[in-house]
Structure 1
Amino acid sequence: MPLSSDQTVPPPAGLNCWVTLGLALACGVGVANVYFPQAISPLIASDLHVSGDSAALVVTAAQLGYAVGIFLLVPLGDRLPHRRLLLTLLGLTGLGLLTAATASGLPVLIAASVATGATTVVPQIIIPMAAGLVPAERRGAVTGTLLSGLIGGILLARTFSGALGQWLGWRAPYLVAAALVLVLAMVLGRVVPTTTPSSRQRYGSLIAEPVRLLCAEPELRRSCFYQAAVFAGFSAAWTSIALLVTGQAYHLGAQTIGLIALVGAGSMFATPVAGRAVDRRGPDPVNLVCMIGAVAAAAVIAPGALGGAVGLTALLVGMLLLDVAMQSGQVANQARIFALRPEARSRLNTAYMTCAFLGGSIGSWLGVRTYDHFGWSGVSALVATTAALALARHLLRRRAPRHLTPTAAGREPGGNSRADVLDSGPAVR
């Protein structure tokens, strides 16, 4: 049933491959601003004369800001023309990055990180927009392609910022990121279609809608829990790994963190495969494989505490597996929620990604404190625990009776998906 004050718009007009690739590039550049501080937090600690766990708050602040931005700004993707909204957010992101680059102390840097995280939500506006511009049978594949670009941004952000920060100092990545945001604005100004908003709700009602959707849609709650739990473990591992490899076990520099991140390139190829699997078999089987993979990754990374070649190999293999599991699981989760209420995809994505990044922020905070008290073995146990919680929820989920209309599963009577019946994404002019 459409939400109040929403309007029905024509069926999706489609995206050609070049526009899809341009949007994937935009997702990568946009999300990089949340992740590149992970590789340079030791450099920040040294330059600003603060402890390592205090500098790690910059990472937590960026993720927390991202969650806030998703909640407050992403719903506008259903209310405002996409191109204008995206370009405005990119301008604000550039200002935040420049403020961070010139910060004289940790409090200013943390505040700038929150602001930058809040406005760099471009990928979370692009993904539901694109889902409304393609037929239902291509939605998983397109979502997987966009997430592949997003993953590339995460990987290159860590690698690039680690190497550049080691060479020119921690401020250099912020300055380069600001320049890249300008380039991204130029790209999006050319490739984003002119769209008609799918909702006329007032802003207050619009940002309250994700909470109502969480209450109304069991499948949305389930997807949110899956991603929040797995992403908490993922964030705990990536925030703590900077402390591990620059500490006594390895004595390596910040650029090594970026090189470790490169192994996650495998997930760039995994997400399109996961998307096609979701299109063929549905999201639940993909979720199951990914959760088991995350539990296995926790066991693989545990020997990283040993140091040396054995420990480093364990870190490389385990972090690759964790990356693939987390990102492929996200393809399944987003495909599930985008089929629920096509006229409210930005609001659905708001609820989903807010929960995910709240989980990530909590995971980053817990990861640093777990590492301080229990070392890398404790972090590995934390990753296993969060993944096991998601797996237990998945195995114990209540299935909708076949003889009823399983609204939560996104199906209408007669076997047609609700996405096929109500597929009314943003109109393109």
Structure 2
Amino acid sequence: MSENPTAEPKLSNTVLYLMSISAGLVVANIYYNQPLLNLIAQNLDVSQASASNVALATQLGYAVGLLIIIPLGDKFSNKLILKYDFLILIISLLVTALANNIYVLIASSFVIGFASVIPQLFVPMAARLSEEAHRGRAIGIVMSGLLIGILGSRTLSGVVGEYYGWRAIFYVATGLMVLLFILLHYKLPKLNPTYQGSYWSLFKSIAHYFKTEPTVRVAALRGGLGFAAISVFWTTLVFLLEESFNYGSDVAGYFGLIGIVGALAATVTGKLNDRINKYYIILVASAILLVSWILFFFSGDSLIGLIIGVILIDLGMQGLHITNQNIIFSKNKDARNRINTIYMVGFFVGGALGTLGASIAWDSYGWTGVSIFGILICAAIVIVQLVWGKNDDL
């Protein structure tokens, strides 16, 4: 039965920040493995390229979860989805901690990615419950938590992995998810479904929106390329630090803390979205991403260059991502979860392809090949925006 709009709860700051913190804690599960790839390779006696498949499987799992789970937010209660999703997530984290070969680890990592889509229920929820004039701010706050979770997870797992082994962080994550589920169960407002058709018709409607909404297609392309660019960096950073500086996973993790500087600007970017033409915000964000990879190209043996580049790449990514989401959530209000599915599937498929390409580039051409790959991706984002961005209904 359709929900009565007048009965819909208002978005309080307490709930908004709870969603922001929860988004960060859940999305962190996807990225714990990235600074640990060297440790995993050594512990399981596999190559670095094989270990990179753990990160690739996690991102592919996330993309599949987005496609299958997130559309359900338009049909089933958010509380019902969270209950089953957290159960799968908790079990997969525990299996990962206990994995004794690379194949089990790749499979469990895929399931972790599949079940870690919960933050993508929070973003449409924030857009739905917030006033139109403050939608950008609400999305920005949730995304700020998500981005800090992405970056902070690398720091936490890198340090924990260095001193306690790569498995320890997944035991910690298992306990965190149990506690978080209990908190969300009691504090998160319940939203009833607005879609009355079957799941198959719901799924088919995703294809309809993809065909009829060029704004969403362009946003998904920009987002996918942007996330590919950032995934290329984080997948290979740990290998560069080991080879050129003789640093371990803890130092790779500390780079996540540096990136938080850029992520903290997410709330500011959200507010700018409520005032400034979004075409120019995306163009500037894309240019910042390109500059970051040009800087990385010349910083294969410079920690200072890498540090500045990390700040820039995360600043550019959050500007691109938040603005993309604000654009796609500005219409099709009854289908925001399905619209978000299209966007986020493109986003994480791009990330997975970036991870795959990065491992190939690293094995074949080292940091120079990785940097050129990153530059080409960012140049493509600028071209996409110049050619198709002005057609967006901004």
Q: Does 1:40 align with 2:36?
A: yes
Amino acid paired to 1:364: T
Q: Work out the CA distance in 2 between the residues paired with 1:282 and 1:89.
A: 37
Aligned to 2:186: 190
Amino acid paired to 2:292: A
Structure 1 residue ranges without an equivalent (≥5): 1-5, 401-407, 411-429
Q: Work out the CA distance in 2 between the residues paired with 1:85 and 1:267.
A: 32
Q: Work out the CA distance in 1 between the residues paired with 2:115 and 2:103.
A: 19
Q: Does 1:361 align with 2:345?
A: no
TM-score (norm 1): 0.89
Q: Does 1:337 align with 2:328?
A: yes
Q: Does 1:142 align with 2:138?
A: yes
Aligned to 2:162: 166
Of stretches 390-399 and 144-153 in structure 1, the one that deviates more from structure 2 is 390-399
Q: Work out the CA distance in 2 between the residues paired with 1:27 and 1:282.
A: 27
Amino acid paired to 1:14: K
Q: Does 1:205 align with 2:217?
A: no
1:297 Cα shift? 0.4
Q: Work out the CA distance in 2 between the residues paired with 1:255 and 1:85.
A: 35
1:283 Cα shift? 2.2
Aligned to 2:340: 349
Of stretches 23-32 and 12-21 in structure 1, the one that deviates more from structure 2 is 12-21
Q: Work out the CA distance in 2 between the residues paired with 1:171 and 1:197.
A: 39
Kept in 2, the 8 Å contact 1:82–1:192? The answer is no
Q: Which residue of the other structure, out of 370, 375, 380, is the alignment partner of 1:389? A: 380
**Secondary structure class of the residue paired with 1:195:** coil
Aligned to 2:103: 107
Kept in 2, the 8 Å contact 1:148–1:269? The answer is yes
CA-to-partner distance for each residue in 1:246-297, whole Å, 9 max, x for gaps? 12x1111110110111111112321111111111114222111100000000
Amino acid paired to 1:148: S
Aligned to 1:409: 393
Q: Work out the CA distance in 2 between the residues paired with 1:79 and 1:96.
A: 25
1:197 Cα shift? 0.8
Aligned to 1:243: 239
Aligned to 2:313: 322
| Same amino acid, percent of matched pairs | 32
Kept in 1, the 8 Å contact 2:20–2:146? The answer is yes
RMSD (CA atoms): 1.5
Kept in 2, the 8 Å contact 1:337–1:348? The answer is yes
Aligned to 2:284: 289
**Secondary structure class of the residue paired with 2:26:** helix
Q: Which residue of the other structure, out of 216, 227, 230, is the alignment partner of 1:234? A: 230
Q: Work out the CA distance in 1 between the residues paired with 2:3 and 2:77.
A: 16
Structure having the higher helix fraction is 2
Aligned to 1:133: 129
**Secondary structure class of the residue paired with 2:260:** helix
Aligned to 1:424: none
Q: Work out the CA distance in 1 between the residues paired with 2:256 and 2:150.
A: 8
Q: Work out the CA distance in 2 between the residues paired with 1:372 and 1:32.
A: 27
1:393 Cα shift? 1.2
Aligned to 1:379: 370
Kept in 2, the 8 Å contact 1:159–1:255? The answer is yes
TM-score (norm 2): 0.97
Aligned to 2:297: 302
Question: After TM superposition, where is structure 1 displaced by more than 3 Å over at least 4 residues in a row?
Answer: 6-9
Aligned to 1:94: 90
Q: Work out the CA distance in 1 between the residues paired with 2:2 and 2:189.
A: 19
Q: Does 1:26 align with 2:22?
A: yes
1:316 Cα shift? 0.9
1:399 Cα shift? 4.4
Aligned to 2:304: 313
Kept in 1, the 8 Å contact 2:231–2:354? The answer is yes
Of stretches 126-135 and 371-380 in structure 1, the one that deviates more from structure 2 is 371-380
Aligned to 2:61: 65
Amino acid paired to 1:265: I
The structure-2 alpha-carbon separation of the partners of 1:399 and 1:28, relative to structure 1 and needing over 3 Å to count, comes to closer
1:345 Cα shift? 0.4
Q: Work out the CA distance in 1 between the residues paired with 2:14 and 2:3.
A: 28
Structure 2 residue ranges without an equivalent (≥5): none
Kept in 2, the 8 Å contact 1:78–1:199? The answer is yes
Aligned to 1:271: 266
Amino acid paired to 1:409: D
